[in-house]
Amino acid sequence: LRELACAKDLKGKKVVVSAGATQEPMDPVRYLTNHSTGKMGYAVARACMLRGADVTLLASTGCTLPPVPFVKTVPFTTAADLFEAVKANAMDADALVMAAAVADYRPATVAADKVKKHDGEMNIALERTDDILAWVGAHKPEKLFVCGFSMETRDLIENSTAKLHKKNMDMIVANNLKVPGAGFGVDTNVVTIITAQGVTELPLQSKDAVAGHIADAIAGK
Ligand code: CTP
Ligand code: CA
């Protein structure tokens, strides 16, 4: 009940959140993906819903989390699907939070039939996917607040600040995968929030609490 009683400071705002891992098929049986479970994005969707926002959650079909109540969910599988979903849903929104872990490369061809094994090695040719946030950064309307995420194993602040500027984001939530309590599948995170105003290191906390900081930023706090 305490959750429901929170301030409705996002009332009237449309927030689009992406969550989970893309899956890039190579044949009808196999795909390339990553370890993202969607927990961080689902937490952001829930926090914004509780604070009164109209929330659309672009959720990977690989996510096994329970749906977030009172949130419109749009499924995606590949990076290309997610790109279409972002274009269709986010460009008239007040905020886009890209927590999805998007493939940078996909198999260059998708075999119509199962690829059979042979003796010796096998190689898969990969091609680049589109960078969705870079596109949004180049096309975003004035009112759209864009929050990206970054996963790094070294040079967290330098690499993440470079992404913030390169993709014209308003904020990036950077996490160092090598810190205990941060990263994939767990309910906690250790993040550094970077904006044009500066760098804020947050201590270990629940993904719900990190989501609260992101909701604060969307609310202009
Ligand atoms: N992202 C995106 N489209 C892609 C790849 C990433 O929109 N094709 C978004 C992610 O959702 C995330 C942000 O860009 O919010 C940063 O993703 P990350 O993988 O950390 O950075 P990259 O720019 O892909 O660089 P690299 O993986 O080489 O570190
Ligand atoms: Ca990447």
Ligand 1 pocket mutation pick from 76, 159, 163 by most atoms within 8 angstroms of CB:
163
Q: What average pLDDT does this structure show over 53-76?
A: 98
11 is in an annotated binding site: no
- The catalytic position among 34, 89, 175, 189 is 34
Ligand 1 pocket mutation pick from 22, 34, 133, 177 by most atoms within 8 angstroms of CB:
133
- The count of other CB atoms within 10 Å of the CB of residue 221 is 8
32 φ/ψ angles, rounded to the nearest 5 degrees: -100, 135
Q: What average pLDDT does this structure show over 100-125?
A: 97
Q: Would residue 168 show up in a list of annotated catalytic residues for this protein?
A: no
Q: Please work out whether the CB of residue 21 comes within 6 Å of at least one atom of ligand 1.
A: no
Q: Please work out whether the CB of residue 173 comes within 6 Å of at least one atom of ligand 1.
A: no
How high is the pLDDT of residue 85? 98
pLDDT tens string 93-108: 999 999 999 999 999 9
pLDDT tens string 1-50: 778 888 999 999 999 999 999 999 999 999 999 999 999 999 999 999 99
Contact criterion met (CB below 8 Å) for 44 and 17: yes
How high is the pLDDT of residue 1? 76
Residue 170: is its pLDDT beyond 90?
Answer: yes
Contact criterion met (CB below 8 Å) for 217 and 171: yes
102: CA distance to ligand 1 center in Å? 6
- Strands annotated E in the chain: 14-19, 24-25, 31-32, 54-60, 72-76, 95-98, 105-107, 126-128, 145-152, 171-176, 188-189, 191-195, 198-201, 205-206
Q: What average pLDDT does this structure show over 54-72?
A: 98
Q: Please work out whether the CB of residue 79 comes within 6 Å of at least one atom of ligand 1.
A: yes
Give me 24's structure tokens: 């890039």
Split at pLDDT 50, 70, 90, the class of 116 is very high
Q: Model's pTM, two decimal places?
A: 0.97
Q: Please work out whether the CB of residue 98 comes within 6 Å of at least one atom of ligand 1.
A: yes
Confidence check on the interface: ipTM exceeds 0.85, yes or no = yes
